[in-house]
């Protein structure tokens, strides 16, 4: 292409741009012009329906929310009266929990009372005092020897007093004995003893028509006793017992003489003191 041809192309392009410039200016002016707002003339409609959750199967249980946990306040530890320092000693380590040493020997004395009737329709009242030395074989079984003293008062009815017998007759007896005692449970125990007594007794003689006389005499009497008792602890080394005993040799022989210095039953009040 020669120079004249290039000039003609440039000129043609220039003229085309000038012709298109008004159109572009008009389009830009329309796009930037202000547009008046339009009112909504459509008829009013219903409010939009809220979204519903998906349907749940009929057999499916309704989930129940778990209850909120309840927190209780923790108790405040209180100081123990027997543990002021807060230390807890092992069981059996305290001095009060240690087994007490068995005291083998003890002094056992008793005072007894009894009453029975005599073959002459009178009464026989007896009181006895019997100290003993006891030995504990175990913590439940004890035995030991002792001595005894008994006083008996024999009373006679009026018909015999009219025949010459006294109103009453006092008799004294001394003997030796052995006892056996076994603790059943707690403070209840069984008690048994056997006593041989050099007893003061009496004989009745007829001295004339409807005349009687009572003469004291000595005879040996054997008395087995057995029963039960209750012990009341007075201190660490002292206790008091009450014992009810049955006299297995109570009564009178063929001549009407008593077989035992004790009546029926025999009630004893005893005192126990542990020796070192």
Residues 6+ apart with CB under 8 A from 30: none
Is the pTM value of this prediction over 0.85? no
Q: How confident is the model over 79-136, as pLDDT tens digits?
A: 655 555 555 556 555 655 566 677 789 999 988 888 777 666 678 888 889 999 999 9
* Two tokens, residue 68: 């909120």
Q: How confident is the model over 68-94, as pLDDT tens digits?
A: 666 667 776 666 555 555 555 565 556
Could you give the count of Cα atoms lying within 13 Å of 223 in the half-sphere of its Cβ? Answer: 33
Distance from the first to the final alpha carbon of the chain:
155
- What domains sit in the chain, N to C, each tagged with a CATH number? 105-274 (2.40.160.20)
Q: CA–CA separation, 108 vs 22, rounded Å?
A: 149
Residues 6+ apart with CB under 8 A from 97: 91
Tell me the DSSP string of 62-119.
PP-PPPPPP-PPPPPPPPPSS-TTS--PPTT-SGGGSPPPP--EEEEEEEEEEEEE-T
Q: How confident is the model over 170-193, as pLDDT tens digits?
A: 889 999 999 999 999 889 999 999
């Amino acid at each position: 292409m020669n120079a004249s041809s290039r000039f003609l192309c440039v000129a043609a392009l220039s003229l085309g741009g000038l012709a298109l410039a008004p159109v572009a200016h008009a389009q830009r002016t329309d796009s930037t012009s202000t547009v008046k707002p339009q009112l909504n003339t459509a008829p009013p409609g219903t409010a939009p329906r809220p979204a519903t959750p998906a349907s749940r199967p009929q057999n499916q249980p309704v989930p129940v929310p778990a209850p909120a946990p309840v927190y209780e306040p923790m108790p405040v530890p209180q100081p123990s009266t027997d543990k002021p320092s807060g230390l807890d000693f092992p069981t059996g380590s305290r001095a009060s929990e240690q087994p007490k040493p068995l005291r083998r020997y003890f002094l056992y004395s008793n005072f007894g009372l009894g009453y029975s009737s005599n073959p002459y329709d009178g009464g026989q009242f007896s009181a006895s005092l019997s100290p003993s030395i006891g030995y504990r074989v175990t913590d439940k079984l004890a035995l030991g020897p002792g001595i005894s003293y008994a006083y008996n008062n024999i009373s006679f009815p009026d018909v015999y007093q009219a025949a010459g017998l006294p109103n009453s007759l006092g008799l004294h007896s001394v003997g030796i004995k052995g006892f056996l005692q076994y603790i059943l449970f707690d403070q209840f125990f069984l008690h048994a003893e056997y006593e041989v007594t050099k007893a003061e007794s009496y004989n009745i003689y007829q001295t004339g028509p409807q005349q009687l006389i009572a003469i004291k005499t000595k005879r040996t009497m054997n008395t087995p006793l057995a029963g039960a008792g209750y012990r009341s602890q007075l201190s660490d080394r002292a206790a008091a017992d009450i014992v009810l005993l049955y006299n297995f040799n109570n009564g009178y022989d063929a001549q009407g003489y008593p077989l035992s210095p004790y009546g029926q039953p025999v009630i004893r009040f005893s005192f126990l003191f542990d020796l070192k």
